[in-house]
Amino acid sequence: MGYDITFHPFSRKEFSYYIEDVIQAPSEYVSRLAKVHSDREEQAVLSANVYSRIGDFIEEVKMGDSAYEQTVGLAITAILGYLHPYWYARGGMLSALKTYPEFKSIFKEISSIAREETRFLFDQAHNQIIGNYSSGTYVPYENIGALKMLLEDEKNHSIVEETIGDYNKESLLNCLEYCLINRLDLLEAADIFIPATGEVSTYYPNARAPHLNNIMNFENNSKKSSDLTTILEEECPRCLGKGHVDWDDIKRLKQELRWRPGRCAYCNGTGKVEATQIEKVAVDNTYLTTTRSEKERNLLLNNDTDTLEKGALLEQKTETFIEEVKYLHFIGQLSPSQIIDFYAIQFKDNKVGVAWKSDMLQYIEKIITKE
Ligand SMILES: [Zn+2]
């Protein structure tokens, strides 16, 4: 095991903002680059090596030409090194602990925190070091405390010695402590920081390593310009911080006829929103759903008049439709399938798809039984 391993703390908000937004729309890297670091020279390096290449990396992974770990995965850890201190462990591989039953449940798939639109990519991850220059395993914040306890447990001494190494253990433990204090997840990487050759593909001032005598230094030297932890501070009132909307939320907000369970569009799946958003956009805004594009979402959140009008119009159309169905059923005495036939008139030769019909039937039945 000759890898130069680093452990990278990060928050899910950062993952969403600095990583997933760019994966979803690679041209967004320009705006994120400006936020990652205030220094132009550092920005240029990070752009050339990592951020501007993410679009190509995604294509390579999609085509099967490159492994996720050695392109996108590695790029992610490089970006994370700009956001938080990271801890070095020569040959101390966290991935190696995955094979031990005692440790197995600690590790999760990185796709488990991905939003729907980016999951196709994170599904390609092996969630462990696959060779040189590779991202590694992922530990969610919820499991950091348990991992720390397992590492410190005398019973596991030989396992830890074998995989992490006694020399590296303190480095890893300090990283976990930092994660606990700041409520952060952790991602592993190989060869992003190589002291022997001086090769550093991430932000050097954030390096913590035994040979640097600074593993207990928790100061974040990041020069990111926006601190997401202070911007996004309110619990999302739509999903109550879960990141996804379930039937209970839908009932609470009286949107049974309009929404389905899924990722929360109000907070974009992060569980938190800016305090100002709650004042600007109603939590039960019918139009703000995951079917809107990122661009429309932003327009809506910024109170763009056209988008607001479009939203109001759609809301009105939905209300009209609900009233029509009620009328056709309760006054006109039509059955749900007759109501479907009625709405099929607008299509050429009344031809409609099976999926449309079954969707429609469900919807109509919901409207009728709600009365
Ligand atoms: Zn939410």
Distance 263 CA to ligand 1 centre (A): 8
Residues 81 and 130 reside in one and the same domain: yes
> How many A from CA of 68 to the centre of ligand 1?
29
Ligand 1 center from residue 184 Cα (angstroms): 19
Closest CA to 284 of 232, 234, 235, 236: 236
Residue 243 pLDDT > 60: yes
Confidence class for position 274, pLDDT limits 50, 70, 90: confident
If asked whether residues 240 and 199 sit together in one domain, one would say: no
Q: For the chain, what is the mean pLDDT?
A: 89
Q: Ligand 1: distance of its center to the CA of 273 in Å?
A: 8
199 and 334 within one domain: no
Q: Using CB atoms within 10 Å of the CB of residue 213, give its burial: 0 to 12 exposed, 13 to 18 middle, 19+ buried.
A: exposed
Residue 116 and residue 21 in one domain: yes
Q: Quick one: 295 and 316 in the same domain?
A: no
Q: What is the pLDDT of residue 225?
A: 72
Q: Residue 202 has what DSSP assignment?
A: S
Residue range 100-135, pLDDT digits in tens: 999 999 999 999 999 988 999 999 999 999 999 999
Of the two residues 138 and 317, the one the predictor is more confident about is 138
The sign of the torsion formed by the CA atoms of 361, 364, 370, 371 equals negative
Last residue of a domain, one of 282, 303, 324: 303
- Picking from 62, 41, 209, the residue whose alpha carbon sits closest to that of residue 122 is 62
Indicate whether 315 and 298 sit together in one domain. Answer: no
Domain-ending residue, one of 303, 328, 354: 303
pLDDT bucket at 231, cuts 50 / 70 / 90: low
Tell me the per-residue pLDDT of 275-332, one tens digit each, with 9 for 90 and over: 777 777 888 887 888 778 777 887 887 777 888 888 888 888 888 999 999 999 999 9
Domains in the chain, number: 3
- Span from the CA of 140 to the centroid of ligand 1 (angstroms): 19
Task: Give residue-wise pLDDT tens across range 144-158.
Answer: 999 999 999 999 999
Q: Is residue 15 domain-shared with residue 109, that is, in the same domain?
A: yes
For ligand 1, the distance from its centroid to the CA atom of residue 266, given in whole angstroms, is 5
Q: How far is the CA of 205 from the centre of ligand 1 (A)?
A: 35
pLDDT tier at 267 (50, 70, 90 boundaries)? confident
Distance CA 74, CA 92 (A): 17
pLDDT at 1: 47
pLDDT band of residue 226 (cuts 50, 70, 90) is: low
User: Residue 252 corresponds to which amino acid?
Assistant: R
Q: What is the mean pLDDT of residues 21-42?
A: 88
* Ligand 1 midpoint to CA 328 (Å): 36
pLDDT at 82: 94
Give yes or no: residues 51 and 85 share one domain.
yes
Interval 35-90: pLDDT, tens: 888 888 889 999 999 999 999 999 999 999 999 999 999 999 999 999 999 999 99
Q: Which residues pair with 193 in a beta bridge?
A: 200
Percent of all residues in the chain with a pLDDT value above 70, rounded to a whole number = 97
366: pLDDT strictly greater than 70: yes
Q: Are residues 249 and 146 in the same domain?
A: no
pLDDT at 348 over 80: no
Q: Among candidates 107, 112, 108, 117, which has minimal Cα distance to 20?
A: 117
Residue-level pLDDT at 350: 64
Ligand 1 centroid to residue 268 C-alpha, Å: 6
- The predicted pLDDT at position 206 comes to 96
Does residue 24 surpass a pLDDT of 80?
yes
Structure-block tokens of residue 146: 């348990």
Three-state SS at 87: strand
As given in the structure block, the two tokens for residue 227 are 């601190």
Q: How confident is the model at residue 4 (pLDDT cuts 50, 70, 90)?
A: very high
- % of the chain at pLDDT higher than 90: 58
Q: In whole angstroms, how far apart are CA 306 and each of 210, 309, 312, 352? A: 57, 5, 10, 31
Same-domain pairing of 265 and 326: no
| Domain match, 108 and 250 both | no
Domain boundaries, position 292: 232-303
- Assess whether 133 and 61 both reside in one domain: yes
Given 280, 303, 326, the domain boundary residue is 303
Q: Which helix (H) or strand (E) holds 135?
A: strand 134-139
